[in-house]
Structures are given as C-alpha cells and as structure tokens.
Amino acid sequence: MTMTGITRRRLGGVAAGAAAAGLAGCAAKTGPLPVLKDRQFPADFTWGAASAAYQTEGSTEADGRGRSIWDEFAARPGAIIDGSDATTACDSYRRYTEDADLVAGAGLKAYRFSIAWPRIFPDGAGALNEAGVDYYSRLVDALLDRGVSPFATLFHWDLPLALQEKGGWAARDTALRLADYAAAITARLGDRVKNFIVLNEAAVHAVLGHVLGEHAPGLKDAALLGPVIHHLNLGQGLSVAAMRAAQGGLSIGTTMALQPARPQGAPLAFWNRPAADGFDALWNGAFLDPLFKGAYPAAALAMVEPMLQEGDLTLIRQPVDFLGVNYYSPTTIRLDLSSPSRIAAGEPPAAAPRDAFGREIDPSGLLDMLTRVRESYGNPVVYITENGCSDAFSDGPAVLDDGFRINYLRAHLEAVKAAMEAGSRIAGFFHWTLIDNWEWALGYRSKFGLVAMDRTTGARTPKASYVWYAGLAASGLLDEA
Ligand code: FCB
C-alpha cells in the first residue's frame, strides 16, 4: 500500500513557497466552534510543555549510549533537509537544569520528556546502562525540586539500532523488548515518576518510517505497515502490563496523533469519502480500536491478521489511565486510482489557513477528535500531550514576537474548552515544545518552541508566547483574541 503524497517533506516544499509569498504562519481562522460558557479552566488543570529525547538531548555518544535508528537515518545524504544532525540539538543532556528552570519559570506544573531507549539498553536488550538511567534520574530530581511533575514517554521514535537490525517493529520480538525496557524504567524511576506515556504517535512512526521513508528507519515498504502497527500495539499492551506488575500507583497512558480525515471537496465529491474512511481506519482506528475495543477496524484487519496470535487483542486492550492526544491539523484525503491503497493526500479548501508545513489550521478538527474519543471510546481521561505551531521554515533566528503562535494556541484551547464543556474529561495540555529543537527530517529549519535557542551558544531566550503561556498557567483564564 502507498499513500500518495502524504509526506512532511512534500508539505514542507509547498509551505516554503507559501512562506516566500508571505502566506505561512499560524493565523487561526477557525472552523465553527460552539460558543464557550466561560473561558476559565479548572484550578487542577495541568499546564505543561512537551519535548522528546532525540530532538533535544544531543550528547549522542555520551555515557555508553547505543546508536539509534535516527543516528543512522540522519547520516544518510539528503535525509535531513538542512543537512544537520542531532548530535548537539538543545544540548539538554548537559543543560537540563536550565530546561527545568524554564518550565518552572513559566509556572508549569508538568514537563513531558522522553527517555532514549538506547541510553538505557544500548543494544536494545541485555545489560542495562546505569549511566543512562542516571541522567534521567537527575532530570527527574531537577523537575521535582522545582515542583514540576515529570511525564515520561518511553518510545518517541528512537529505537535502538541493534533492534532494527533484527527487524525493528516488523518483528514481534521488539514488542517484548519494549516491555522489558518499560519494566526496567519503572523499577528505576517509578518511585518518582508517576505519569508514563508508552508510545508517541505510533501512526506517524509506522507510516512515515516504514512506508514513506521520510523518517527513520527510512523504509519504503507498504507490506511492513500491518506488522509494524500490530507490534507497536502489542508492545504497548505488554508494557502497560509489565509496568503495573512492577509497581502500583502509576498513571499510565499512551499518545496518539489523532487527525480527522476529511474527504476533499466534500460533500459534493462523494467518491473521496471511502478513501478518507480508509485513511481514518489506518491512522486513527488502527490504534484507538484495539486499545479501547479490543478489535481492529475492518480496513486494518486484513493487514494485521497474519501477525495476530491468540490473546494478542486481550493484551493490547489493557486499561490505560489516560489517552494522550497530539493534534496539529486535520488532513484532507482524496481517491487516487493509481495508488494500490486508493488513498492520497488531497488539497484542503483553498481559503483554509495553513501552517508552515502547508497543513490546514483548523481547531475544529481537534474538537472533532475529542468528541469522537468521548462518544465512541468510553470517554477516557485525556491529556493533550502536544499542540503547537512552527515559525515559517527558515535557517535564520526564531521569531521572538510570536503573536501567530499565541493565536494558534488560543484557538486550539478554545476547542479543548468546548470539548470539556460537552463532557470530555481533559486533564491537561502540553505545549509542543519548550525550546526550539531538531525537528526530525526538517532539521533546525522548523521551530516550535516557547523559547528560542542560539545554535552557536545554546543560549535560551523566551518568546512572547512563553510569557503569554505563563500567564495562562497562572490564572487558568483563556484571554480573548
Ligand atoms: C509531532 C511529534 C513531535 C514533533 C511535533 C512537531 O508529530 O510527536 O516530536 O515533531 O510533531
């Protein structure tokens, strides 16, 4: 199966043109949202910021860290748009106390970071690397000392290369190794970390990494999609069980990249609807349904069936304490008869505002997904674990007076509040991201931070959005545009 044209790079190319024409930004024209009853978030709502190990830490060879699939991928000529790599990134491996100060300085009560599996098990399995654990132990202590709750993601795409060499997520064994790693982390950090997120955006990792070749491990093999999806789901279920067995009192969830799939030209172009439904089943349903319903959607079942073993669906349907929702945009899908999957990226409505990636900006898509999670999946507790907006792509310095980012956030928080008023149990919101970092295949060209970073000195400079977000975290009152 291929999904024609659904790539970040392609969208980036579109957006570069838009940026040159002065069109890119994060100006939020919104879809219709219900009128809010009020703009006050509850006092116990968790305001946080999110990051990921590979995008921020640097020090990729320090203290016995093993190689990850991203080290190998980034070294391939042309894989990263600006030719950069993440060997320095934000230098957070060495500057983590500054990061913790920035989180606390904004009055945020939570910080979502990820643990680099190759720091803990350099070979993916076998001997645990104590020096790697020590780094996260120090980071956790730095956060707790400042009154910040750590939310630790276990797998944010940086698989140990040694596991990829044994088949990666296409191999069932990787799911078992994730569970071993999850249990080891729980045993070492579970006394202080109470909130864990097992997977980050399995759909993105599966599709961009294994079908489109835009992300590590850089494979372009549609036949891998079924095995990778199933083994990610299985690894998640096994991990939740292993972590609960290791320790009680934890709050364990998993994070998905939820996107409504909208047929291009709807409602007139009815022929695009089945393609949009097919995309939805693979992108959203293939992860939501097994977790909350213990079944795969019909459109995904044929792909995963050869891998399904007795008991797998029960293992995957482990109760979670929360669902993490990452949201940036809806996606527009059209029928493509030349593609085996019949699915292709479509064009959003011409008048739709776009972000730097060329993606439509529409907070009503977030409300759609939150409504669906509430109505179709038993209304789990939800954290918005990522939402944010990049500057227009550039190799230059970040925009410090980033009113566009504030507008984007305000509009999306209106959608969050609307969902809460309708009954969704949303416990918190994590801004992506704290500090401008290494944005995967886009290198340093895309900047999402509340805080800018000078790449030469590593110096951090808060943007206008940092000050705005701090004000929101202090009062819980969402201001008017
Ligand atoms: C999400 C990823 C995160 C970052 C943001 C911009 O898909 O989880 O690491 O790349 O997008």
Integer distance in angstroms from the first to the last C-alpha of the chain? 44
Over the chain (481 residues), the average pLDDT of each successive run of 10 is: 48 30 45 90 98 99 98 98 98 98 98 99 97 98 98 99 98 98 98 98 98 98 97 98 97 98 94 97 98 97 97 97 98 95 94 95 98 98 99 97 98 98 99 98 98 97 98 98 91
- CA-based nearest residue to 215, from 97, 79, 103: 79
pLDDT value, residue 6: 56
Are 421 and 364 spatial neighbours (Cβ–Cβ below 8 Å)?
no
Q: Which residues are catalytic?
A: 201, 386
- Best residue among 92, 112, 158, 326 to mutate for probing ligand 1, ranked by most atoms within 8 Å of CB: 326
Which residue, chain included where needed, has tokens 């795969």? Answer: 296
Is 201 touching ligand 1 by the criterion CB < 6 Å? Answer: yes
Instruction: Say which amino acid occupies 344.
Output: A
Q: The tokens of 58 are what?
A: 């640097």
Q: Where are the alpha helices (DSSP H) in 21-108?
A: 53-56, 69-74, 92-105
State the closest ligand 1 atom to the C-alpha of 439, by its place in the atom list counted from 1. Answer: 10
Which residue, chain included where needed, has tokens 């990729």? Answer: 60
- Best residue among 154, 432, 435, 445 to mutate for probing ligand 1, ranked by most atoms within 8 Å of CB: 432
- CA-based nearest residue to 233, from 281, 162, 304, 299: 304
Is 54 touching ligand 1 by the criterion CB < 6 Å? Answer: no
Question: What 3-state class would DSSP assign to 234?
Answer: helix
Taking CA atoms, 105 is separated from 98, 109, 127, 474, in Å, by 10, 10, 38, 11
Q: The tokens of 107 are what?
A: 């009055």
> How far does CA 11 lie from the centroid of its chain?
18
Angle between helices 225-246 and 172-189 (to 10 degrees): 30
The number of residues in the chain equals: 481
191: Cβ contacts below 8 Å, ≥ 6 apart: none
pLDDT value, residue 307: 98
Residue 29 and residue 323: Cα distance in Å, rounded? 27
pLDDT value, residue 32: 76
Using alpha carbons only, what angle is made at residue 399 by residues 398 and 405, rounded to the nearest 5 degrees? 115
pLDDT value, residue 390: 98
Q: The tokens of 388 are what?
A: 């944010």
- CA-based nearest residue to 355, from 12, 14, 24: 24
Taking CA atoms, 410 is separated from 259, 373, 377, 404, in Å, by 19, 22, 27, 10
Question: What 3-state class would DSSP assign to 466?
Answer: helix
Q: Identify the residue whose C-alpha is closest to ligand 1 atom 2.
A: 201
Residue 234 and residue 177: Cα distance in Å, rounded? 11
Q: Identify the residue whose C-alpha is closest to ligand 1 atom 4.
A: 439
Residue 10 and residue 15: Cα distance in Å, rounded? 9
Is 385 touching ligand 1 by the criterion CB < 6 Å? Answer: no
> How far does CA 432 lie from the centroid of its chain?
9
State the closest ligand 1 atom to the C-alpha of 204, by its place in the atom list counted from 1. Answer: 7
Residue 198 and residue 189: Cα distance in Å, rounded? 14
CA of residue 310 to ligand 1 center, whole Å? 34
Is 440 touching ligand 1 by the criterion CB < 6 Å? Answer: yes
Is 52 touching ligand 1 by the criterion CB < 6 Å? Answer: yes
Using omega within 30 degrees of 0 as the cis cutoff, is the peptide bond preceding 267 cis?
Answer: yes
- CA-based nearest residue to 236, from 122, 293, 115, 319: 319
pLDDT value, residue 246: 96
Instruction: Say which amino acid occupies 440.
Output: W
Is 129 touching ligand 1 by the criterion CB < 6 Å? Answer: no
pTM summary value: 0.95
Question: What 3-state class would DSSP assign to 44?
Answer: coil
Is 448 touching ligand 1 by the criterion CB < 6 Å? Answer: yes
Is 98 touching ligand 1 by the criterion CB < 6 Å? Answer: no
What beta strand segments (E) does 220-259 contain?
251-257
- Best residue among 81, 383, 440, 442 to mutate for probing ligand 1, ranked by most atoms within 8 Å of CB: 440
- CA-based nearest residue to 283, from 219, 338, 329, 347: 329
Q: The tokens of 313 are what?
A: 């669906």
Burial class (CB in 10 A: 0-12, 13-18, 19+), 457: exposed
State the closest ligand 1 atom to the C-alpha of 201, by its place in the atom list counted from 1. Answer: 8
CA of residue 208 to ligand 1 center, whole Å? 12
Are 464 and 408 spatial neighbours (Cβ–Cβ below 8 Å)?
no
